[in-house]
Chains A and B, each alone.
Chain A
């Protein structure tokens, strides 16, 4: 895709095919001969891991759907039926439920990789924005899926999250009714959530396709943050990165398998093994761990925002919380234009590194606070971390790039790998594959 195609069909069939539907050429140029920077580290393997997880979710989901019954009366029992009676159902169900957690773990690493290495900077803005779109679709899919087992947490997560929309002035209440299909979460809600939970993963597949397309036009970024200059800087994707990705995937599968086989419920919540009851809210409702940071931001806004020294409230705390929570994701769309630094990789930005570390700490801190009760010191901490989260994107990044003294960049990728002396002929043998 990037640069002229290097594909030469070798036999009669591939030649015939190439002049009709050049799909083998596309595969070759995208995943075989595709020139890849030679200095990618393991943080660059998560894209492949994520692609794998998407397939896992779709495959396990499609087979779960063969036994799952999306009605308020049957949903809970049908999931238990899958877990107890369906052949292999215990493993398939836990693969899907644990898989969702592993998928999110990988996407958080992937996103924070991008934030550290400046992967969002020109010419990869669209690539980044598509990534944020995928993240939003994943969150929607995860939420919709969590409602399907129709336990207490499913029901109350659905109640709380659909109530977000009631914060919207004027149309809010009508919108909530439209989303729920009634005044409360009920059968109508479950069936539509099932329909959408089935649909969205395929939309994710579509956006992932665009994401990879947008990746292969400028090519991969890399830890040094300097662009590819010549053939010495790249290696063919296969076998160098197919093998590296595969190795990382196997390591990633270890915790996945451990949870799946030995602790399928460790990441979930015991209350979800109580069937949904519209009359009783569990004492302590918490979302899945992967939504915790955003949940903490929602709850951090405990105050109204109004015109100072008057009683006029412009944004009440409920609307404010919802705006802050969505804003925490929306701000990512603007990241390519908020970071004013010309230097792409965080490795060469000494001051940036400190602020980045604080961002990671704030985000993990918010995740922890999301699971705590919303009172006392927890609220104050959540407010501090929320302020830092937004401050990082809206204040620190725009200013820092203008005043920071960065370390000198390497002249090229090969120099960053082999040192300044070694720009001569780095392993001619390895380069033959790239031709």
Chain B
């Protein structure tokens, strides 16, 4: 074989690369099910919605319910707490969001949030921290206000809102 022939891509080179490519795709597609089986199973996903009767929660109260294994805060806010949350300047917030983005229009008294701190997932304590009607995460000291917005500490984001809708004024469907 002379030098210039060597530099030309040959049929053999093509077959070689094509075989390699098929091999990579084959190994990849054989490996994927082994990884993907770890993702939430159909059974776990089937639990995806719960309905909750709000009439049991008095004004000023907080209850903890379960959705998809996650703890959910259902908080019935007082008019004071609502006014305070609405009055907060966006500039004071770490993850700026107006109160209106935290609740559903016309249902401002209901604050429904996933009860895991956005830092590393602990369940924050209600009303023991810096913000009245807010939350205090004992794990690493994050503070949330009365709209569940992070105000200080290592948590990067506000408490997460689960997908939910009001089926009536007293019935909410989460998920």
Contacts and interface: CB of A to CB of B under 8 A. Distances in A.
Interface of A: 156, 159-160, 162-164, 177-179, 181-186, 188, 192, 278-281, 283-285, 299, 301-302, 316-318, 321, 373-375
Contacts of B40: 177, 181-183, 188
B122 A160 contact: yes
From B35, B66, B70, residue with most partner A Cβ within 10 Å:
B70
Given A185-B69, A302-B154, A375 B122 contact: no
Contacts of B120: 159-160, 163-164, 318
Contacts of A160: 120-122, 139
B141 A375 contact: yes
B138 A188 contact: no
A185 B71 CA distance: 11
Contacts of B116: 159, 184
B5 interface: no
B104 interface: no
A301 B153 CA distance: 10
B32 to A, nearest CB: 12
Contact of A182 (B64, B69, B154, B155): B69
Contacts of A316: 156
B155 A281 contact: no
Given A279-B123, A318-B119, A181 B41 contact: yes
Contact of B156 (A177, A284, A317, A373): A317
Contacts of A278: 66, 69-71
Contacts of A178: 35, 38-39
A159 B70 CA distance: 11
Contacts of A321: 154
Contacts of B38: 178-179, 181, 192
A124 B156 CA distance: 42
B41 A318 contact: no
A299 B140 contact: yes
Interface of B: 35, 38-41, 44, 64, 66, 68-71, 115-116, 119-124, 138-141, 153-156
Contact of B155 (A184, A299, A318, A374): A318
A283 B141 CA distance: 11
Contacts of A159: 116, 120-122
Given A159-B116, A318-B119, A373-B141, 13 more contacts: A159-B122, A160-B122, A178-B38, A181-B38, A181-B41, A184-B68, A188-B44, A192-B38, A278-B66, A279-B64, A281-B124, A283-B138, A317-B154
Contacts of A179: 38
A283 B156 CA distance: 21
A274 to B, nearest CB: 14
Nearest to B68: A183
A177 B64 CA distance: 22
B69 A186 contact: yes
A184 B69 contact: yes
From B39, B68, B120, residue with most partner A Cβ within 10 Å:
B120
B138 A284 contact: yes
B96 to A, nearest CB: 12
From B38, B69, B124, B153, residue with most partner A Cβ within 10 Å:
B69
Contacts of B44: 181-182, 186, 188
A6 to B, nearest CB: 45
B16 to A, nearest CB: 33
A142 B141 CA distance: 26
A317 B95 CA distance: 13
A285 B68 contact: no
A188 B123 CA distance: 21
A280 B116 CA distance: 10
Contact of A183 (B70, B119, B140): B70
B84 to A, nearest CB: 25
Contacts of A192: 38
A374 B69 contact: no
Nearest to A318: B156
B123 A280 contact: yes
A313 to B, nearest CB: 9
